[in-house]
A and B are shown apart, each in its own frame.
Chain A
Amino acid sequence: MLDIVGKRNLWFTLSGITILVGLISLFTFGLNLGIDFTGGTIYELKFSQPVAVDQVRQSLAEMDIENPVIQKTGDDIIFIRTKIMDKDEQQQLIDQLSQKLSKAEVLRIEMVGPVIGEQLTRQALLALAVASLGIILYVSFRFEFKFAIAAILAVLHDALIVLGIFSILQREIDASFVAAILTIVGYSLTDTIVIFDRIRENIRLGKKESFTDLVNRSIYQSLTRSIYTPLTVLFTLVALYFFGGSTINNFALAMIIGVVSGTYSSIFNASPVVVAWKELEARKA
């Protein structure tokens, strides 16, 4: 049988290094925050004829629009991100581009003021805090406090890894990213709890063995489940990533990273943390 618990320091180190790399990136490069957080205006315009980014850049420069981000998302589709522009300014921009280049159809315009961004950040942090608290309470109630803390650590591990990778990739973060993180928090626990559940059952069966052996056995017994359940979720996420379109792309990516990390952390981190904690207590006593 695999001795997962015995090699726990290796798993903890591995997770630690990954998180550290992510944190370094977070502190040096930060996150690529979208307008949901920073405020600003984005346009997705479909032109009647193919256009080049340079043409758009030049036209925008003539309108004195500072530092726009311009991307081509299709032959005739252009994505523009600017500072906050009111409705009249937006109309002006579209009219100008239509006149200078070719007729522009509005696929999407989003303007977010600064108030909303602050609100979203506050809500995201509050949601994460409340979710963590709710989970600690529930797991403490159904299992025990040590399990709850181990579960939360595993989940925060997943959230940090997603944030870190998004920082490294400089992928844009929007409101749906917040939803993804919270869903990861909820879902990554599923696997952890399946193993905890097995530990609880094995404790009740009362076979004579050390706690370490019991946890190892529980992880091993749940292994197929721990791999299959996220696998089916990954099937749908990968389909969303490749076929779901640009708006849903980042959401799917965040979820994919979160689910993979969640699988790892439930097998290699959560239960081993409980064992480490119990051993530490035993040594002190």
Chain B
Amino acid sequence: MRLGNTIKFAVTLILLAVSIYLIHPLDKTIKLGLDLQGGTHVVLKLKETAETPINQEAMNRVIEVIERRVNELGVTEPIVQSQGKDQVIVELPGVKDSKQALDTIGKTALLEFKEVNPDGSLGDTVLTGASLKKAQVGYDQYQQPIISIEFDSKGAKEFGKITEKSVGKPLAIVLDNKVLSAPIVQEPITGGKAQITGNRSVEEAQKIALLLRAGALPVPVDIAEIRTVGPTLGADSIAKSVNAGIVGTILVVIFMLLVYRLPGLVANFTLIFYILLVLASMVLLKATLTLPGLAGLILSIGMAVDTNILIFERFKEETRAGKSLRPALDAGFERAFATVIDSHTTTFITALILFWLGTGTIKGFAVTLMLGIVINLFTAITVTKNILDLIVGVDAIRKIKVLWAVRREEKC
């Protein structure tokens, strides 16, 4: 029995060491949400059109195209993922790059070649950008930026036919219903290469080229939500939360020491262990720590000792009923167990629902809350019991009643 306890304690110490190893240094190991590291969170809502319904295929295509666009912009570690049936979340860490990204994200980027009617209005679409192979920025002889495009073999053939038919006539190049240029076709173009000229800046030309390279969205999208947090506020939020966490933990630690003395000290040790384990499992699960998540973690510090309070109160009660220390301790753990499971399950149910229904940063809150509840069962019950078993085995400590916060007349 005693040996078993020693082994258990050794396992605890190893776990503690592993946790510290995993989370050190914390600012490098834990993944921070955009609200803490700064960045832009965008929610796009897909809009159904007469031709294209919103289904998995359209969704996949939207995600693919947007991923290509943000990647081409060189945004570090972007996240593009679907949310529900018709929404796409785009997360862009860092503010500098995201400004540019926001300009391109919501664009449909549908490139069309249209005939021009004699009255100057646009006629039928004769070709789209779907068969485009390349698009890049170059310069014409006047050093004006132009966009060179190149079709794949199928597109090249069609483009050849079209240009053959419209020699001497203008052909409009239209992007998202905006005419980029409408040059007059001089001769049939069979090589599949063309240039989009027009008076625009290099940045503008680069943006268009990028959009053309990344491809068009199958359906138009609306920007439903943009949240930008600057790096200053993110850092400030972390500093303030850490402060609050330290103050809160100190209050809890003092309370536990004053009320429960030695068992309280053990509970405080397991509380610190609890915090380290939650952080370590977040690192392992690659979970993102958001501001609500951080608040959830701090909140859970207060909730974590609940388990110990339940156990220790029960323990005190048992000593009052005349039990001596060791059996009272066993009874305390045993009897409080059902209570702890029942009371934690309800919080877990609500956290689970939050995780399932919540969006964005709130999901982060639910994650820390759920992790906290599960880990708390381990630290507050298994680890606390193990250490107290070890201590209660030392006669000299067991006999000092004042350490156990039990009244003098009680047997020890």
> Which residue numbers of A lie inside 8 Å of B, CB to CB?
44, 46, 86-87, 105-113, 115-116, 119-120, 123, 126-127, 130-131, 134-135, 138-139, 142, 175-176, 178-179, 182-183, 185-187, 189-191, 193-194, 196-198, 201, 221, 224-225, 228-229, 231-240, 242-245, 247-248, 251-252, 255
Contacts and interface: CB of A to CB of B under 8 A. Distances in A.
A108 B230 contact: yes
A38 B72 CA distance: 35
Interface string B249-283: 10110011001000000000000000000000000
Nearest to B373: A186
Contacts of B360: 175
Interface stretch (B139-147, B159-167, B193-201, B302-310): B302-310
* Interface bin, chain B: 35 or more
Interface stretch (B113-121, B148-156, B290-298): B290-298
A146 to B, nearest CB: 16
Nearest to A190: B343
Contact of A182 (B95, B310, B353): B353
Contacts of A236: 244-245, 248-249, 251-252, 298-299, 301-302
B259 A228 contact: yes
Interface of B: 35, 43, 45, 95, 102-103, 222-230, 232-233, 236-237, 240-241, 243-245, 247-249, 251-252, 255-256, 259, 291-292, 295-296, 298-299, 301-303, 305-306, 309-310, 313, 317, 335, 338-339, 342-351, 353-354, 357-362, 365-366, 369
21 contacts: A108-B230, A108-B233, A116-B224, A142-B342, A176-B362, A179-B358, A189-B346, A190-B306, A221-B317, A232-B255, A232-B302, A233-B302, A234-B302, A235-B248, A235-B255, A236-B245, A236-B249, A236-B298, A239-B244, A240-B244, A244-B240
Given A115-B222, A198-B339, A248-B240, 10 more contacts: A87-B226, A109-B226, A135-B350, A138-B346, A224-B313, A229-B310, A232-B302, A233-B302, A234-B302, A251-B292
B346 A190 contact: yes
Contacts of B344: 190
Contacts of A238: 248, 251
A106 B96 CA distance: 12
A17 to B, nearest CB: 27
Given A194-B343, A221-B317, A233-B306, A244 B232 contact: no
Nearest to B311: A225
B373 to A, nearest CB: 9
A233 B240 contact: no
B346 A193 contact: yes
Contacts of A235: 248, 251-252, 255, 302
A235 B257 CA distance: 14
A222 to B, nearest CB: 8
A234 B342 CA distance: 21
B247 A107 contact: no
Contact of B230 (A107, A115, A116, A198): A107
Nearest to A127: B357
Nearest to B103: A87
Contact of A108 (B228, B244, B245, B251): B228
A106 B240 contact: no
A235 B306 CA distance: 12
Contacts of B309: 225, 228-229, 232
A258 B313 CA distance: 24
**What 10 A-B pairs are tightest by C-beta distance, nearest first?**
A186-B350, A236-B248, A239-B248, A236-B302, A233-B302, A186-B347, A245-B240, A235-B251, A243-B244, A239-B247
Nearest to B341: A142
B88 to A, nearest CB: 13
A116 B247 CA distance: 36
Contacts of A175: 359-362
Contacts of B244: 236, 239-240, 242-244, 248
Q: Which of B43, B103, B360 has the most CB of A within 10 A?
A: B43
Nearest to A222: B313
Given A182-B354, A186-B346, A113 B224 contact: yes
